[in-house]
Structure 1
Amino acid sequence: MLNQLKLWAKKLKKQLFILYLAYKDERVSWYTKVFTACVVAYAFSPIDLIPDFIPVLGYIDDIIIVPLGIMLALKMLPTSIIEDCAIKAEELIQNERPKNWVAGSIIIIVWLLIFTWSCFTVFKLLN
């Protein structure tokens, strides 16, 4: 069972890379790009709809929402684009992972804004 789980995780990871590469492909329609970008950003983001510290429910997004989003995004893409991106994804996984400093910066800025807002709110409540 552990091997099956590892294979499933590996397949999920490859599918995320396929979606990442498909987002950059100019043959993909704009609405598919938007949906694909949202799925990839959500999958790689540390921010979840349901926080992981909530027992059982916290992992629903990791087990259901992310795979469902990947499945829907892949259904929106033409087969030829998926095949092209699958080859590129395999090369990326073997060589190196893509780095998106812009997305990482946005996530850090959002966390800093939430932290700053929380600090100001607590400070106002204490005074």
Structure 2
Amino acid sequence: MWKLGRLLTRFRKELLLAWAVLRDPRAPRAAKLVTLLAALYVISPIDFVPDAIPVLGWLDDGLIAYLLLQLAFRFLPAELLASLRARVGERGRSGAAP
């Protein structure tokens, strides 16, 4: 059960980081574009594995979105990524809404 809680916490932080990338004017366009592609893949009705297959359909959405977000984060300069991660970490500890 603890592993699931840690996984959900990490997932929430990754989503907050993705939102921070989209909002930060210092983020390169490539990072913003790949972040948007990840979001569009999740909401798109066209998938590699259809969502009608209960678990596999959702897992493929999550995995591909996660991989796209990791690619987007690689486009960020190291200092900007560290700054955004610190900001997301502060939000997570304070319990403030995004």
Q: Which residue pairs with 2:83 in the alignment?
A: 84
Is there any run of 5+ residues in structure 1 with no aligned partner, and where?
Answer: 98-127
Query: What is the total number of aligned residue pairs between the two structures?
Result: 95
RMSD after superposition: 2.5
Of structures 1 and 2, the larger Rg is shown by 1
Q: Which residue pairs with 1:117 in the alignment?
A: none
Checking the alignment, whether the CA contact within 8 Å between 1:48 and 1:61 is kept in structure 2 is no
TM-score, with normalisation over the residues of structure 2? 0.72
Of structures 1 and 2, the one scoring higher in RCO (CA 8 A, sep 6+) is 2
Q: Which deviates the most, 33-42 or 63-72?
A: 33-42
TM-score, with normalisation over the residues of structure 1? 0.59
Q: Which residue pairs with 1:23 in the alignment?
A: 22
Alignment of 1:1-127 (within 5 A): 2-40=1-39, 42-43=41-42, 45=43, 49=47, 50-93=49-92, 94-97=95-98
Identity across aligned pairs (percent)?
Answer: 25
Partner Cα distance (1:68, 1:75) in 2: 11
CA drift at 1:95? 0.8
Q: Which residue pairs with 1:103 in the alignment?
A: none
Is there any run of 5+ residues in structure 2 with no aligned partner, and where?
Answer: none
Partner Cα distance (2:15, 2:91) in 1: 12
CA drift at 1:87? 2.5
Partner Cα distance (1:3, 1:47) in 2: 32
Q: 1:21 to 1:92 in 2, by over 3 A?
A: same
